[in-house]
Amino acid sequence: MITLKQLIQVAPFPEETKNELLQKAGTLSSDQVYELEDLCWTLISSEYQNKIRFEMQKNLLDSALNQKPSDFDIKKVEEKYLTELQQKFSATGTDEKLEDIREKLEEIGNKGPEQMTTDNNDTAPPNNN
């Protein structure tokens, strides 16, 4: 099981913030721990998704500029960044499995990489006509 301190170490906080949170971790109420865990997972998930989106956009741009078909494989990119995330967790002393990390990322309510698009049509307001 991943501890709060491990989450803080893996989450993309500035070093100063990480150090401050790690010092205060033992003094937090159970509600504060829950909120901080949720924040850490949200940040981790956002970083993960942003990396995948970047790879997708980079590949599409390369395809457009070089006028060649895209060879982008979302599953390979997803596995690459899940493995990177697992290595970050391993460095904190946990032996969390890829599937467990993937499930947690999905559980926090963010879109999976398979659902990502390169346009922002999903943020358009609904058509009420």
Give tens-digit pLDDT for 99-123.
788 888 888 755 444 444 334 334 3
The 10s digit of each residue's pLDDT in 36-82 is 999 999 999 999 999 999 999 999 898 888 888 878 888 999 999 99
Q: Containing domain of residue 58, as a range?
A: 47-109
Q: What is the pTM of this model?
A: 0.76
The structural domain count of the chain equals 1
The DSSP string of the chain is ---HHHHHHHS---HHHHHHHHHHGGG--HHHHHHHHHHHHHHHHHHHHHHHHHHHHHHHHHHHHTT------HHHHHHHHHHHHHHHHHHTT----HHHHHHHHHHTTPPPGGG--SS-GGGSPP---
Q: Does residue 66 fall inside a structural domain? A: yes
In a domain, 62, yes or no: yes
Q: Is residue 61 part of a domain?
A: yes
